[in-house]
Structure 1
Amino acid sequence: MINLGHIDSGNAFDFGNISEDYAKFRDVYPEVFFQKIHDLGLCKKEQTVLDLGTGTGVLPRHLARYGAKLIGVDISENQIAQARRLSAGMNIEYIVSPAEKVDFPDKTFDTVMACMCFTYFDKSALLSRLFRMLKDDGRFAIMSLVWLPEESAIAKRSEELVLKYNPAWNGVGYTRAKFDSDGVPTTYGVDMSLGFEVDTSFAFDVFLPFTRETWHGRMRATRGLAASSLTPEKLESFEREHRRFLNEQPESFEVLHSATFCILKKQR
C-alpha cells in the first residue's frame, strides 16, 4: 500500500490490489488519444519510449503498432504481471520499479510518457532523472483523461456515491484544464527550473461509450474504491447502491471526458 499526504488525506491505496479489474475496465482511451501521441512525433519507428506508471500497459499495447521500442515501468508487480499477460506476443519490455528510481544510461529515450500518474511521483527527483535519460531533443509527455462530472449526471452521481463511502477521496470534481503562463496545466505543478520548456500543451473533449457494467467496473477500479483501504463491507454497500442507480440508466451511454496533453522539451 502507498501513502501520500496530498492524496486522499494520506489514506493508503494500491492499484496492484485490483489489477484484474484494472486490466478489464481501465482500457478506455479512444483511438484519437493514441493518434495524437503519434502525430506529435512521440512514438515513431526507431524511437525508444519509456512509459512511467504504465499500469497494465494500456499505452504501450496501443502504441506498439507504430514501431517504437517501448518500455513500461510500474511500481506494482501485479500491474506489470497483467501488462505482460496482455502484451503476449508484443515486443514490449516491462520493469517493476518506482518511477523515481528507473535507471537507464544517459540520453537513452526519445520520449518519456506519464499518463494519469504524474501526481503520484516525487516530481523534482523524477524530472532530474529524466533530464539525464532523455536525448538532447527528447520530450516528456504528461497526459490525463478525466470525466467531467458537471457535464455528466451519471459521472456526478457516481462520484457522490464513492464519497459517501470514502469521503477522503480527492479524485473528484475534475474540470477542463487551466494553463499557467508557461502553458503548463495548473494541476500538474511542474517546476520549470529543472531544465524543461513547454513544447506544446492543449486539451480536447471526447465522449467515451460505456455500458452499465463497464461504467460500474470503471468506478470500482478507482483509487477511491477497490484500490483504497475501504473495508469489504463498505465496498459491497457502494456496489449495491451504485448498481441500483445504474439500473435506472440506459443500458448504454456516453460520458464526456477531457484529455490534456502537456509536452515538455529538454532544454539544451
Structure 2
Amino acid sequence: MSDKDIVINNIDAGKSFNWGKTSKDYAKYRDIYPEEFYQYIINLGLCKDGQKCLDIGTGTGVLPRNMYKYGAEWTGIDISENQINEAKELANEAEMNIDFYTCDAKDVNVNNASLDVITACQCIWYLNHGITAPKFAKFLKDDGSFLILYMGWLPFEDEIAGKSEELILKYNPKWTGCGDTVHPVWVPEEYLDYFKIEKQEEFRVDIPFTRDSWNGRMRACRGTSASMTSETFIAWENEHVKMLEEYPEKFLIKHYISIAWLKKR
C-alpha cells in the first residue's frame, strides 16, 4: 500500500503533496527540536508520569520518542504509512513501547475521556477541524489538554534559511510554507467551542546544522520532495548543495518555537 497524495485547497494553491515520499529523510533529518522544547512541555505538567497521550500527525514519531523518557504512555497516528513504518522502526530500535498507527486524524477512535493530553506538532493546518475539535474534546478527560506545537525557521532573519526558501520557490512557486515570522501558532476557531486557551507563548532558538543536515532538512520539507517531480527535485537539490558550499560546514539556523496550551472546557 502506497501513501496517497494530499490536496488541501488553501495549502500550496491546491498542489498535491505526499509525506510518504519524504519518510527516509524525515526520519534522519527532522529530529531537531532542542531540549528546551520538550522541557517546556514538561514544565506545563504535561506528557509525563503515566499520562495517556495521543500524538496527531506524528510523522516518524519524533515527539513521542523524545518524550518517552518522561514516563507518559504514548500513541502516535499519521496519515502516511511510510511515516508510521519509520516511527515503528525507530521506536523498536530504541526499545520504546509506543503504539503507532496509520490513520487520518478525522478517523481516529479511542475510548471517551481516556486521554490526558493530545498533541498536534507541525500539523494543525492539515486537520479537518469541524470533525477533530469535538472528537478531541470527547477523547480527553475532564481536565485534559490539547497542545498545538510548532517550530519554524526565520527566513528574514537568517541568510541561509532565506536563500534556501528562495531556491525552493524558484522550483516550486506554489509553495506556501515560506515567509515565516515569530507569531502565535494558529488556534482554529472550531476548537474554542470545546477548549479554552490556557497559555500561548513563543520563544527563539538557534538550531545547529551541517551543510548535509540542513540540505536534508530541506529535502524533508513539503515544498521539495513531498511535492516536486523527481526531475525538478534533482535540479533543486543540486543547486541547493552548491549554494551551501558558500557557507561553513557547521552553522546555526535561527528558529522560533510557538506553543498553544488548550484545556478542555
- Relative to the length of structure 2, the TM-score reads 0.96
Contact 2:113 2:140 in 1 (8 A): yes
Q: In structure 2, what is the equivalent of residue 210 of structure 1?
A: 209
Amino acid at match of 1:209: P
Query: Which residue in 2 is equivalent to 1:199?
Result: 198
2:136 matches 1:130: yes
Unaligned runs of 5+ in 2: none
Gapped runs of 5+ residues in structure 1?
Answer: 179-184
Residues 81-230 of structure 1 correspond to what in structure 2 (within 5 A)? 81-88=85-92, 89-178=95-184, 185=185, 187-228=186-227, 230=228
Q: Note if 1:20 corresponds to 2:24.
A: yes
SS in 1 for 2:54: strand
2:71 corresponds to which of 67, 70, 74: 67
User: What amino acid maps onto 2:250 in structure 1?
Assistant: S
Distance 1:188 1:9 in 2: 21
Seen in structure 2, the aligned counterparts of structure 1 residues 193 and 143 have a Cα distance that, compared at 3 Å, is closer
Cα offset, 1:192, TM superposition: 4.8
Q: Partners of 1:106 and 1:8 in 2: how far apart?
A: 35
Q: Distance in 2 between matches of 1:6 and 1:29?
A: 27
5 Å-filtered alignment, 1:18-57, equals 18-57=22-61
1:46-90 Cα distance to aligned partner (Å, 9 max, x none): 210000000000000000001111000101111000000000110
> Equivalent residue for 1:247?
245
Q: Do 1:145 and 1:257's aligned partners in 2 also have CA atoms closer than 8 Å?
A: yes
Matched letter for residue 118 of structure 1: I
Distance 2:129 2:98 in 1: 26
3-state SS of paired residue (2:17): coil
Q: How many residues align?
A: 259
Q: CA deviation at 1:193?
A: 4.1
> Contact 1:124/1:194 (CA < 8 Å) preserved in 2?
no
Farther off after superposition, 122-131 or 157-166: 122-131
Deviations 1:75-124 (A, max 9, x none): 11110000000001101111110011110111011000000000000112
Q: Deviations over 1:187-220 (max 9, x none)?
A: 4433354211011110100000000000001011
How large is the RMSD of aligned CA atoms in angstroms?
1.0
Q: How much does 1:3 deviate?
A: 0.5
CA contact under 8 A between 1:47 and 1:69: conserved in structure 2? yes
What's the CA shift for 1:28?
Answer: 0.6
Cα distance in 1 between the residues matched to 2:102 and 2:236: 32
Classify the secondary structure of the residue corresponding to 2:37. helix
Amino acid at match of 1:213: D
Of residues 8, 11, 19 in structure 2, which corresponds to 1:7? 11
